[in-house]
Amino acid sequence: MNATHEKPLTWDEMFTPDAVRARYGGVNAALQQLSAAALEGKHKQAADFFMNQGITFTVYSDNEGIERIFPFDIIPRIITAKEWDHIEAGIKQRLKALNMFLHDVYHGQQIVKDGVVPASLIASCPHFLKEVTGIDVPHQIYVHIAGIDLIRGADGVFYVLEDNLRTPSGVSYMLENREVTKRIFPDLLAHNHVRMVNTYPTRLLNILSQLSPRQVDQPNVVLLTPGVYNSAYYEHTFLARTMGIPLVEGRDLVIDHQKVFMKTTSGLQPVDVIYRRIDDDFIDPLVFRPDSMLGVPGIMSAYRKGNVALVNAVGNGVADDKAVYAYVPAMIKYYLNEDAILPNIPTYRLEVEEERRHVFQHLSSMVVKQTNQSGGYGMVMGNKATELELNDLKVAVMQNPRNFIAQPIIQLSTVPCLIDGKLESRHIDLRPFALCGPSGIEIVPGGLTRVALRKGSLVVNSSQGGGSKDTWVVDIEE
């Protein structure tokens, strides 16, 4: 096999400059045995699996809905146990600090008073919700489910790209990717002793059950979805089914005397814990957006009263704001007195004049991001943008500098992918999923590896032409 190395300054997950990494020894040998037709056959088998499972999104053309699958690449991304231990320790440390930050920022704001995080940064953050100030959440856990995006730079080091602490999605793909790999590479999976990921739903349910405000044997836990037209609806059904909990919509719930109930065929049943996949803005039209049809009127009063647990907590957006991200290493130092195990990418806040000047001088090597956007939207790659686009960007930045940050463009690591029947290198990131409960933080060994399928692209988001891969954690040392 000859994977193309266009960029010598990029870390390749499979190859060193002159050899195959030990972790990929078995996979490489197996791929050598397969003809192009056989690889294509496996690719089609995987695509059929996703199509038949209904793991699709709909594209509308001429009033006809056409079902498309999210692209899956059959060649796994492999991480060694040693690397995983490092990642796991880094994420646990980070989440511990972020939970402490969220409690602090909605209670005394000591971190602001001590001058570690600027008050203006919090005050100007659109996701800081004064409506939840002073609310005590069970066990002081705000982030129960996190998807921390990591990338590996040319130096082989894993960096944190962003923290997703509100309603991170993609875990169903992590699990379904493994299911499809079992079908297409059963022997490889067995011989490599790949660590198991499918305990995730059980672990999540255990944590959700422990958050119940009522001390009962079997609390009523539900998953709240915006509905069938939401792009992540498949994931909502997947999680509800694999945890065995009801999947509810806002219209299924009602509030009575500051308690939450669901409307069932035998009347109203109490609800104790809600894993909500609805954004803060939409969750309660009486408190946030009054035009929301997705939420439950009055749910915030039940939450404030402690009669229902909401997972993740409301108001977490202040901690995964792209400008606040720059202060996470300082938070770790402040709350834990430790240095960050997983480094941040250097981040420039464009509201700071000095940093803005530096960024404007080096725009061609920077990526500029809007702090209130996600999914690859609101992002300008300085090395790809035209002169006109860069000028427009500068104007937009000057109008609202708080809304932008900039980071040096990092060449994400690459891994071979099957593209049009041939193996070619593509850039990837990694989103491990962490669960925080009263007993601590758990991370299933693996995650979602996202791939930028367009040649040379560094944007891995599914909304921007990205795909995904199965992620293996193996006990192979190098």
Q: Minimum CB separation from another protein for residue 402, in Å? A: 40
242-250, 319-327, 356-364, 388-396 -> range binding another protein (CB under 8 A):
242-250
- Looking at residue 352, its amino acid is V
Confirm if 262 and 253 have CB atoms less than 8 A apart: yes
End-to-end CA separation in angstroms for the chain: 21
Q: Which of 10, 210, 231, 237 binds another protein (CB under 8 A)?
A: 237
Which run of H or of E encompasses 396? Answer: helix 387-399
Scanning 79-87, 134-142, 143-151, 247-255 for contacts with another protein by CB under 8 A, the matching segment is: 247-255
- Alpha carbons 100 and 104: distance in angstroms, whole number: 6
CA dist., res. 46 & res. 40, Å (int): 10
The smaller minimum CB distance to another protein, of residues 201 and 432, is found at 201
Where in 409-457 does DSSP place strands (E)? 414-419, 422-427, 433-437, 440-443, 449-452
Return d(Cα 180, Cα 169) in angstroms, integer: 19
Q: Residue 461, interface with another protein (CB under 8 A)?
A: no
CB of 405 within 8 A of CB of 326? yes
Tokens at 383, concatenated: 């090395």
Q: 2 or 229, CB closer to another protein?
A: 229
Report the alpha-carbon distance of residue 371 to residue 368 in Å, rounded: 9
Residues from 213 through 232 that contact another protein (CB under 8 A): 223, 228
Q: How far is the CB of 275 from another protein (least distance, A)?
A: 12
In sequence order, what E strands does 153-252 have? 158-164, 221-224, 247-248
To which H or E segment does residue 301 belong? helix 299-304
262 binds another protein (CB under 8 A): yes
- CA 81 – CA 177 distance, rounded (Å): 20
3-class DSSP state of 291:
coil
Q: Which parts of 65-94 interact with another protein (CB under 8 A)? A: 67
* Minimum CB distance to another protein, residue 247 (Å): 4
Spatial distance between the Cα atoms of 277 and 208, rounded to a whole number of angstroms = 14
Which of 32, 218, 265, 337 contacts another protein by CB under 8 A? 265
58/391 with CB nearer another protein: 58
* CA of residue 172 relative to chain centroid, distance: 12
Q: Does 36 bind another protein (CB under 8 A)?
A: no
> Minimum distance between the CB of residue 181 and another protein, rounded to whole angstroms?
18
- Give yes or no for residue 245 binding another protein (CB under 8 A): yes
In the bound state with another protein, the residue whose beta carbon lies nearer, of 76 and 250, is: 250
Structure tokens at 312: 């993740």
Q: Which of 25, 246, 270, 378 binds another protein (CB under 8 A)?
A: 246
Return the residue matching tokens 């009962």. Answer: 216
Of 35, 266, 361, 399, the one binding another protein (CB under 8 A) is 266
As measured in angstroms, the least distance from the Cβ of 437 to another protein is 22
Q: Report how many residues bind another protein under the rule CB under 8 A.
A: 23
The dihedral over CA atoms of 374, 442, 220, 303, expressed in degrees to the nearest 10, equals -50
Instruction: Tell which positions 163-192 bind another protein, by CB under 8 A.
Output: none
Q: Which of residues 44-63 bind another protein (CB under 8 A)?
A: 51-54
Q: Applying CB under 8 A, which of residues 31, 146, 240, 418 lies at the interface with another protein?
A: 240
Residue choice 57, 70, 233, 360 for contact with another protein (CB under 8 A): 233
Comparing CB distances to another protein, the nearer of 240 and 309 is 240
Backbone torsions φ then ψ of 258, nearest 5 degrees: 60, 30
Give the nearest distance from C-beta 442 to another protein in angstroms.
Answer: 23
Least Å distance, CB 266 to another protein, is 5
Cα–Cα dist 102/128, whole Å: 10
Listed ranges 23-31, 137-145, 241-249, 445-453: which one lies at the site for another protein (CB under 8 A): 241-249
- Taking CB under 8 A as the rule, does residue 376 contact another protein? no
Which residues contact another protein (rule: CB under 8 A)? Answer: 51-54, 67, 223, 228, 233, 237, 240-241, 245-249, 251-252, 262-266
